Chain A
Amino acid sequence: MSTTNIDDIIEDFAEQNRHTVKRFKSSDKAISSNVNIYDELVKAMLNERMAPDLLPYQHKLINEVLTKLSNQQQYLSDSHEYGDTNASSGIVDGDFKLQLMIIETEIERLSYMLRLYLRSRLSKIDKYTIHYISETSKPEEGSQEDTSLVSKQEMEYMHQHFKILTQLYNNSFLKKMPHFLTYLDDTSGGQSMISKPPVNNHVFVKSVSKKPFVISLDEDEDLELTENGIYVVKYKFIKPYVELGDVVLI
């Protein structure tokens, strides 16, 4: 609810602004195109929050959001300066200040979502480190930068974190243990030590594809998903469709 209201207000301001402060024309464009990325970001963030497994990193989207964000911040500080210097001459009025505040709120909101997106990825990486390390080392080698499962920074984080964790274990007790017990990825003894994401968990999904489509479940069971329908499915069955964008997790 409040989202649309704020967007409306921003639209209004953008409209008014076109006539009054011509100087900042470029920013109007930035605001109106923000709506689209904004939706994309909300979708990516929600998917990531709800999925038990790591989704491919949204390289393009995140880069774009980051650029836009720093542009807006630049614009904001410029405007503050502009407002300060022209406050006495009467060029700027109360609306100008309010407008800046709305932009600032918007920036706060965007960075919050980005934060949530990146942090939930990191928490998943922390939880299933060994699994993702083996996952990313196998087939990803030759694939392209923008389709990989984790970003370069996350990769770095993951490996380094694993390294210091191993060091901690070793220094604390593992080095004093019998040698055959010192492995961290031991799968013998009836129990695998590598914890995997619970892909069998159920998730709520909403279909956003225009055309109805059918997914296959266990034991020859099928499920037809129609637009705007809401379903509860095991994550492993729906995973490819989440990545394609046919469904969103809610």
Chain B
Amino acid sequence: MFGALGNKLTLEAKRLTKLSELPQYQSDLVRDIVKETNDLNEDAEFLTEQQRQQELNPSNEEELKVNQCQLFVTHLHMRRNKRCLLAYERTRANKIDEFCWLNIDPIVDTDSAPDKLANNTDSTPPVSEVPVDGSVTRLGLNNLSHAEEEYLKSYQRILVNYKSHFADLDLSGSLEPPSNIFIDVRVLKDGNEVQTEYGVFNLIKDSQFYVRKSDVERLIQQGYLEEI
């Protein structure tokens, strides 16, 4: 049925607003919808042609009306398909934007497999601890379509450009009001040595530190540390 595919896509778009990760791009569905739209366009052209002929010799008024109605519905469907596609892509683009503000590097194919394995064996994976409130926490590059990858890169460029006007300000920092400059943090993942103005500490899992918040903001966003 016409429009069913578009509906599927909007449902998918609605679903992904609630996810913390961007799911696979629905290239098949998108392609099918584009095809359907083009088919509809051919229909519309045919109907218009038919209509013109019927107008020349108005023998059957009933048929003319049927034709007009069909043409109208066809046009509506095409527009609806377009809107579904736009809505889907826009939702994904918004997710990508949101992710870009987080300052984290996207996950490349090779990384994601061991990462998932580690999460399964680990009882406290950092990702699942994040409450599902619809905000992006990670992004797999292999889930993006080619055009979206391009978009991600350009948007990152735009952001760097915009941020460069406010050098003293960490624009992608937390949007929660700050309460203390020093906070207690717990290390969630092993990592390298971290150097701060006040000294050096090593990222060893389950250890705790008392550090300056602005120094570790990025590490919290990247999931290495947790504020306690």
Give me the interface of A with B, judged by CB distance under 8 Å.
66, 69-70, 73, 80, 101, 104-105, 108-109, 111-112, 114-116, 118-119, 122, 126, 153-154, 156-157, 160-161, 164-165, 167-169, 171-174, 176-178, 181, 184, 189, 191
Contact = CB atoms under 8 A, between A and B. Distances in A.
Interface size class of B (residues with CB under 8 A): 35 or more
Nearest to B101: A119
B181 A115 contact: no
B118 interface: no
B30 interface: yes
A160 B30 contact: no
B169 A115 contact: yes
Contact of A172 (B76, B145, B175, B197): B145
Interface of B: 30, 33-34, 37-38, 41, 75-76, 78-79, 82, 85-86, 89-90, 93-94, 97, 145-148, 150-151, 154-155, 158, 161-162, 165-166, 168-171, 173, 175, 177-178, 180-181, 197, 213-214
B89 A176 contact: no
Nearest to A77: B197
A243 B41 CA distance: 48
A115 B168 contact: no
B38 A114 contact: no
A153 B38 CA distance: 40
A174 B81 CA distance: 11
A181 B78 contact: yes
A99 B165 CA distance: 30
A105 to B, nearest CB: 5
Contact of B171 (A118, A164, A165, A172): A118
A177 B178 contact: no
Contact of B89 (A80, A114, A169, A181): A169
A168 to B, nearest CB: 4
Contact of A169 (B86, B146, B168, B197): B86
Contact of B151 (A70, A105, A164, A189): A164
A153 B169 CA distance: 15
Given A66-B168, A172-B85, A181-B82, 9 more contacts: A69-B169, A70-B168, A108-B178, A115-B170, A115-B175, A160-B158, A161-B155, A164-B150, A189-B76
A194 B97 CA distance: 20
B45 to A, nearest CB: 9
Contacts of B93: 165, 168
A189 B76 CA distance: 8
Contacts of A112: 173, 177-178
A93 B146 CA distance: 60
A126 B97 contact: yes
Contacts of B161: 156-157, 160
Contacts of B181: 101, 104-105, 108
A130 to B, nearest CB: 12
Contacts of B180: 105
A101 to B, nearest CB: 6
A177 B38 contact: yes
A81 B162 CA distance: 31
A164 B154 contact: yes
B30 A173 contact: yes
A165 B90 CA distance: 8
A122 B181 CA distance: 27
Contact of B147 (A105, A154, A171): A171
14 contacts: A69-B168, A70-B168, A105-B180, A109-B177, A111-B170, A118-B169, A157-B161, A160-B154, A160-B158, A164-B158, A165-B90, A173-B33, A181-B78, A191-B79
A178 B177 contact: no
Nearest to B171: A115
A73 B197 CA distance: 14
A10 B132 CA distance: 41
Contacts of A122: 162
A118 B78 contact: no
B148 A168 contact: yes
B151 A111 contact: no
Nearest to B35: A176
B150 A171 contact: yes
A6 B165 CA distance: 30
Given A104-B181, A105-B181, A168 B89 contact: yes
With most chain A CB atoms within 10 A of its CB, the pick from B148, B155, B158 is B158
Nearest to A120: B175
B214 A108 contact: yes
